[in-house]
């Protein structure tokens, strides 16, 4: 059976305490409830990409606010996920994705970055295993397609500047216009061996081939909600 999976979806297997039952359901069902992504994050993501691209095209370098990532030669266009994909022969799973930005360094080598509109806080570190897997999945594809070799990975956190009590100078930004700034923080991500991604692909293939779901994680709130829905549906009366 053919299986195509995104880097984002595959990375869920790396989450601490990942629920394999939920992962199985997502692989099997195409009619899951729609989860709306707040439009403001898409707007910020698109804006950062446009600003970075136009500044580099005009000045030949990244903006001064962009954290150092080495001597950037160019910003190659990132292919759409329909082209940025590879099939792993051992599992016959097609992995696809679309990184936020790729920078070419001398060599040439390539550095893949992903933007996160969030504070680099203690709470954010809980998502790090997922982001690490996602970026390594991008690197796995890149090394076999458009950007080889990949020499580095990183998360660029865009931390909203909202603490006006600690930094009253932020109020100067809102004289004639309402402006919200961000402070970027770069967190390097370890570049793993190919076996790391291939192990996740093998796990995804194994789950996909199961005719029935595996046991749920006892602490999974989504599974608890499903059980509650079944219970309610079982006690509800039929049509009158």
Strand ranges of the sheet holding 3-6, from the earlier edge strand across to the other edge: 3-6, 93-96, 85-88
Q: Does domain 3-233 have CATH number 3.90.580?
A: no
What local confidence, expressed as pLDDT, does residue 117 receive? Answer: 84
3-state SS string over 101-118? Answer: EEEEECCCEEEEEEEECC
Go through 96-109 and write b for each residue having 16 or more CB atoms within 10 A of its CB, e for each that does not. Answer: bbbbbbbbbbeeeb
Confidence of residue 83 (pLDDT cuts 50, 70, 90): very high
Ordered by start, the domain boundaries in the chain are 3-233
What local confidence, expressed as pLDDT, does residue 37 receive? Answer: 66
Neighbour count for residue 137 (Cβ, 10 Å): 28
Confidence of residue 225 (pLDDT cuts 50, 70, 90): confident
Q: CA-to-CA distance for 63 and 53, rounded, in angstroms?
A: 9
Give per-residue pLDDT as tens, 109-133.
999 999 988 887 766 677 889 999 9
CB 158 within 8 A of CB 117: yes
User: With the C-alpha atoms ordered 66, 72, 77, 79, is the resulting torsion angle positive or negative?
Assistant: negative
Give per-residue pLDDT as tens, 11-28.
999 998 899 999 999 898
């Amino acid at each position: 059976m053919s299986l195509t999976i995104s880097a984002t979806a595959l990375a869920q297997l790396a989450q601490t305490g990942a629920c394999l039952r939920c992962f199985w359901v997502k692989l099997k069902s195409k009619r899951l409830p729609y989860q709306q992504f707040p439009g403001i994050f898409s707007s910020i993501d698109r804006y950062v990409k446009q600003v970075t691209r136009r500044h580099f095209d005009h000045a030949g370098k990244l903006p001064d606010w962009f954290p150092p990532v080495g001597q950037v030669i160019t910003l190659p266009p990132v292919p759409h996920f329909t082209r940025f994909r590879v099939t792993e022969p051992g599992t016959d799973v097609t992995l696809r994705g679309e990184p936020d930005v790729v920078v070419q360094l001398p060599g040439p080598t390539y550095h893949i970055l992903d933007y996160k509109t969030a504070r680099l806080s203690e709470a954010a570190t809980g998502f790090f295993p997922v982001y690490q897997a996602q970026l390594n999945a991008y690197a796995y594809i890149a090394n076999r397609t458009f950007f080889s070799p990949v020499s580095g990975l990183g998360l660029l956190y865009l931390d909203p500047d909202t603490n006006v009590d600690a930094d009253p100078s932020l109020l100067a930004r809102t004289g004639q216009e309402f402006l919200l700034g961000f402070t970027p923080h770069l967190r390097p991500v370890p570049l793993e061996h190919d076996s790391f991604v291939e192990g996740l692909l093998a796990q995804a293939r194994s789950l996909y081939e199961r005719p029935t779901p595996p046991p749920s994680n006892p602490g999974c709130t989504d599974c608890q909600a499903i059980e509650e829905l079944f219970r309610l549906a079982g006690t509800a009366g039929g049509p009158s």
